Amino acid sequence: MKFGGTSVATVERIRQAARHVKREVDAGNQVSVVVSAMSGKTNELVGWVNESSKLHDAREYDAVVASGEQVTAGLMAIVLGEMGIPSRSFQGWQVPIHTDDAHGAARITEIIPDELNKRMDEGWVPVITGFQGIVPATGRVTTLGRGGSDTSAVAIAAAVHADRCDIYTDVDGVYTTDPRIDPKAKRLDKVAFEEMLEMASLGAKVLMIRSVEMAMAHKVRLVVRSTFDDPNAPQVGPDGSNSGVPGTLVCDEDEIMEKHIVSGVTLAKAEAKITLRDVKDKPGVAAAVFGALADESIVVDMIVQNISEDGSVTDITFTVPDSEYDKSVRVLEAARAAGHVEYARITGSKGGAKVSVVGVGMRNHAGVAASMFKALADKGINIQLITTSEIKTSVLIDDAYAELAVRALHTYYGLDKPGA
């Protein structure tokens, strides 16, 4: 059971979280708990580090920033103890959770689960600091980077062979789309890992991508649910299904009997598009363009390149966040001036919106893209760019039509209906 920053932001909230733990323990389950730092605390610590030095030693950054989880782990163990549940806190080095030495963004290399298993067998609830570990060779504390607590939870679940990894957060599951855009959005009972990955990267920021990747690799079943729900409401059935449970199960595709063609509609706004006209079409041109942007740490999202008519010149279009638009144009003009990239002219604009439909069912259903374009055309929405992957189709449209497009597609694919 993993509790995020908003779930442990105050002692009263830690108590609420602990009631969920008590319910699981009372039901006879063995439980380990993973906690984030109180919301805002990690930012405060990072602020101090940056104030101390712009060029700080990443090992010291980790020593400072890892302290937030230590606080909540201890408090959670105390609150559980008061509820009559034997509990103790573990810092990363006490478990131990081994990582590589990429301080600030370390990767977990091994978790030795013996002590956790022993404690759980004896009826204890270990409370483990998320987000951190230790480099075995140096004995230094590491952090896993932002959102690392989800990754910690999944890794621990894998190491102790947990039946489930429940991620408690401030939303009660994964929705077919953002309920603020379409009030008819429905919570999904189940969603496949692959779908979750696409949704996470498309702006449904419920779970960190890295933790979903790890869960998929180790086949750790995740449940996304809210800390603020009544801890004594009906829960997951013994069959492992979560019907009736206030949450979404993220699991292997095989576990989802009735696959929807489209599981969700996602939206990312403030996307700028940039087109390079008449690019000299020769090997290495794309690498030159996107290499120049990557060197400046500009993250490119959609990329479209058409086959050139006569094989000599082509157009390349891509999107970047609006905030990176001006910088991107400058970078590419400089690259042309330096002779690294050849093109006739550069055009583009800010204020685009990327709308995507995601679903593992697409794999076996032809024509999803075509039906999407038709649904948009019916509303008079012009499509500027199209990209597709195996389980996702995305279009770039004018920002002004973004919400209209999401609602139209949500209805078109039947996601409004009960039981969708």
Interface residue with a second copy among 63, 261, 298, 303 (CB under 8 A) is 63
Interface residue with a second copy among 39, 46, 78, 145 (CB under 8 A) is 78
Contact 318, 312 (CB under 8 A): no
**Of 175, 125, 174, 130, residue with least CA distance to 35:** 130
Please say which residue, 81 or 246, places its beta carbon nearer to a second copy: 81
93 binds a second copy (CB under 8 A): yes
215 binds a second copy (CB under 8 A): no
| The two three-digit tokens of residue 73, written as one number | 């782990």
Q: Buried b / exposed e across 125-144, counting CB within 10 Å, b at 16+?
A: bbbbbbbbbbbbeeebbbbb
Only segment of 79-87, 157-165, 180-188, 332-340 that touches a second copy (CB under 8 A): 79-87
Interface residue with a second copy among 3, 61, 124, 412 (CB under 8 A) is 61
Only segment of 80-88, 169-177, 257-265, 408-416 that touches a second copy (CB under 8 A): 80-88
**Of 244, 247, 202, 239, residue with least CA distance to 222:** 247
Please say which residue, 88 or 184, places its beta carbon nearer to a second copy: 88
358 binds a second copy (CB under 8 A): no
Please say which residue, 45 or 160, places its beta carbon nearer to a second copy: 45
Please say which residue, 63 or 288, places its beta carbon nearer to a second copy: 63
Interface residue with a second copy among 91, 176, 177, 248 (CB under 8 A) is 91
- Cα distance between residue 157 and residue 220, in whole Å: 7
Interface residue with a second copy among 21, 25, 66, 250 (CB under 8 A) is 66
- Shortest Cβ 209–a second copy spacing (Å): 28
How many C-beta atoms lie closer than 10 Å to residue 278's C-beta? Answer: 14
104 binds a second copy (CB under 8 A): no
Interface residue with a second copy among 19, 23, 88, 277 (CB under 8 A) is 88
Q: Which amino acid is at 128?
A: I
Interface residue with a second copy among 25, 49, 335, 396 (CB under 8 A) is 49
- Cα distance between residue 8 and residue 39, in whole Å: 7
How many C-beta atoms lie closer than 10 Å to residue 195's C-beta? Answer: 28
Please say which residue, 89 or 275, places its beta carbon nearer to a second copy: 89
Instruction: Calculate ∠ Cα 353-222-417, nearest 5°.
Output: 55
Residues 333-352 that bind a second copy (CB under 8 A): none
Exposure on the CB side of residue 89, measured as CA atoms within 13 A: 16
Residues 136-175 that bind a second copy (CB under 8 A): 139, 141
How many C-beta atoms lie closer than 10 Å to residue 411's C-beta? Answer: 15
Strand pairing category for 264-280 and 87-90: unpaired
89 binds a second copy (CB under 8 A): yes
The count of chain residues that interact with a second copy, using the rule CB under 8 A, is 38
19 binds a second copy (CB under 8 A): no
Instruction: From residue 216, give the alpha-carbon distance in Å to each of 143, 197, 361, 367.
Output: 22, 10, 18, 28
56 binds a second copy (CB under 8 A): yes
Only segment of 88-96, 260-268, 290-298, 412-420 that touches a second copy (CB under 8 A): 88-96
C-alpha dihedral sign at 221, 225, 227, 232: negative
Contact 79, 15 (CB under 8 A): yes
Q: Which residues bind a second copy (CB under 8 A)?
A: 11, 14-15, 45, 48-49, 51-53, 55-57, 59-64, 66-68, 70-71, 73-75, 77-79, 81-82, 88-89, 91, 93-94, 139, 141
